[in-house]
Amino acid sequence: MKAIQILLILFFIQGDVYSDKNRSFCTEQPDSIRVEKGGSVIIPCHFSYPKSDKPEEVRVYWRHATEGRCGSNEVIYNHTERWTHAAYKGRISMEGNPERERTATIRIQKLRDTDGPMFCCRISLYYNGQRKEEWQNIPGTYIRFKDQFSVEQPDVVPAVIGEDISIPCALHNRSPDAIDEIIWRVGKSDLCFENNEFLIWNTHNITGNNGQWRLQKSENIFLLQKKSIKDSDSRQYCCEVKPRTRSDGQSSTHGTQVVIADPTQNDPKFTVTQPENITANEGASVTISCSYTVPPDQNLLWSGVFWRVGSPTGPYAYHPSDLMVHPSYSGRTQLNGSTDLQINVTQDTDTTTYYCFVMLKFCIGSDKTNSVLKYGNGTQLNINGKKQTSTGVPTRTTETSTSSTLSDLKMLPEILAGVGVLLVLIILCVVLIVLKKRGVICKKKERVKSLPSPVNHASRAPSNHGNVEMSNVGSSNAGASQEEFGGTVYAHLNMEAFQNGAGKRNKENPSSADNQVVYAAVKPTSDQAIYSTVN
């Protein structure tokens, strides 16, 4: 009996209290957050308990510690009792509503290098004024000051079966050349020190393979890589680096969780929905919506949203960790609400398909979780009316939208100006053709140096048309001269000589209208004379 009492006391001292290990009581916190001295930080804590439980009161506590577990270290904040440790007085506040949102998130302002660096949330449920359930986050969250030597990893890397994955481990405030050994601990536990599978590289084999895994160094990042990921690779990966001095190695607390989506698994209770197409103007902001359903019979602890580009295995347009975001989207993307992707200052190269990944983490026991991942069918984003072809080359789309119509209206003055110029050119061409046909514009005739002798006929035929007759066309006495070229006879007529009762010609001011050119195509078929009349 005494032994049992000692074990219970030790259990409570550690602070990891669960009244019933067969029931689902869980907490979820990020591994680490990089902060600046004097700045502020938001430390999220999500918690869950059975849906059947209806507590009268939910109390939230926060502890801090310098290393290891928070355990029974000092409580620095009690939300319900509105109590704050003297070292944090006036600097801690609660974010959100714990009872309604099941979050115990806090904000700490005016950060000091003596704060933490480890923080853990603790939840207590009260029924009829009595505490019935109590549990606490074990790994906690470390705050890492930006001027300190540390390593950084993403909390989650979503993947699709068969793709090649990379897990980054970023080195801060220490040259990669000063690192002698890089160790990756692999296992199922959220706590790195509990995982006993090791992948080790040093300066001599840093470019070599370690089984199916290889390590690649890129500036200040060590990338753990594996080709064709499979379901059994869904584990925790913790990075540890050891400098040549071996005096101050750094490690993650609970590393990176690889979660794999199997497209062949279709759970109708867990769905992800996206629009098929969306259009935006270049340089503006655009939001691509995403929604999902949660299985109603499971106890949801945490959900995360990620966006990938081009294909379900493409780079990330959005990830909670900047280490995972593709450089072309860095600083331009964020979540609008909890799921929708917002892209700022859109570019022509943003014309592609975007896939919404949703990860759900369920509490299935005391501090036991199960994670599932699913992605949508993709949304085609068209920038300024351009869309992606099957070869990946943007082409002009024929789809209409409000934004494209407005863009066309802005171009209307330019379009009208172009049409006006074209109409002027057409009118000028028509005027020139009419003037030419009326003889106002004369075609320059090429005179022939030697002309053949024209046929001279003495016969005369009456004219029934007009008031001018040509007789003896070969003679110049009638006030006419002629030329023949290419089967066409040209007659230069002095109209005054043919006018009946014409007066004396005014030689000082001759009219240019008196001299006109009459031409006719002549095709003789016999020796008989050909007559031409002029109206």
Taking only the tens of pLDDT, the chain with its 535 residues reads 334 333 333 333 344 443 444 578 999 999 999 999 999 999 999 999 998 888 999 999 999 998 767 878 899 999 888 999 999 999 999 998 898 899 999 999 999 999 999 999 999 999 998 999 999 998 899 999 999 999 999 999 999 999 999 999 999 999 998 999 999 999 999 889 899 999 999 978 888 888 899 999 988 999 999 999 999 999 999 999 999 886 788 998 889 999 999 887 778 899 999 999 999 999 999 999 999 999 998 999 999 999 999 999 999 999 999 999 999 999 999 999 999 999 999 999 999 999 999 999 999 998 899 999 999 999 999 998 544 443 343 433 333 333 333 344 344 445 445 556 566 677 776 767 766 666 655 544 444 333 343 333 333 343 344 333 343 434 334 444 444 444 444 444 454 444 444 444 444 444 444 444 444 444 444 444 544 444 4
Q: Among 95, 121, 144, which residue terminates a domain?
A: 144
pLDDT at 172: 95
Query: Which pLDDT score, from 0 to 100, does residue 422 have?
Result: 67
**Number of domains composing the chain:** 4
Q: Say what the pTM is.
A: 0.68
Classify residue 388: in a domain, yes or no.
Answer: yes
Distance CA 70, CA 77 (A): 14
3-state secondary structure string, 479-506? CEEEEEECCEEEEEEEHHHHCCCCCCCC
- State the amino acid at position 521 in one-letter form: A
Same domain, 381 and 287: yes
Q: Do 17 and 138 reside in the same domain of the chain? A: yes
Helix (H) or strand (E) holding 3: helix 2-14
Q: How far apart are CA 232 and CA 306, in angstroms?
A: 22
Cis peptide before 117 (omega within 30 of 0): yes
Crossing angle of helices 412-437 and 402-410, in 10° steps, is 50
The whole-number pLDDT of residue 439 equals 62
Give, as one character, the DSSP assignment of residue 176. Answer: G
- Examine the domain organization and report whether 130 and 162 are in the same domain: no
Helix (H) or strand (E) holding 288: strand 286-288
Q: Are residues 313 and 396 in the same domain?
A: yes
Task: Determine, yes or no, domain membership for 493.
Answer: yes
Q: Residue 529's domain spans which residues?
A: 468-502+511-534
* 441 torsion bin: left (phi>0), alpha (psi -120 to 50), beta (else): beta
SS3 442: coil
Q: What is the CATH number of the domain that holds 296?
A: 2.60.40.10
221 with 292, same domain: the answer is: no
User: Residues 276, 229: one domain?
Assistant: no
Cβ pair 136, 120 in contact under 8 A: yes
Question: DSSP per residue over 200-231, as a string?
Answer: EEETTTTTSEETTEEEEEETTEEEEEESS--G
Position 139 in a domain: yes
Eight-state DSSP code of residue 51: T
Residue 417 within any structural domain of the chain: no
Q: What is the pLDDT of residue 420?
A: 63
DSSP secondary structure code for residue 279 in this structure? E
Residue with tokens 């016999």: 526
Question: Do residues 181 and 279 share a domain?
Answer: no
Q: How many CB atoms lie within 10 A of CB 284?
A: 13
Report if residue 414 sits inside a domain.
no
Domain shared by 171 and 216, yes or no: yes
35 & 109 share domain = yes
CB atoms within 10 A of CB 466: 10
Look at residue 455 and tell me if it is in a domain: no
CB count within 10 Å of CB 123 equals: 25
- 276 falls within a domain: yes
Give the domain-ending residue among 144, 165, 197.
Answer: 144
Q: Do 223 and 105 share a structural domain?
A: no
Instruction: Identify whether residues 486 and 521 lie together within a single domain.
Output: yes
Q: Do residues 37 and 122 both lie within one domain? A: yes
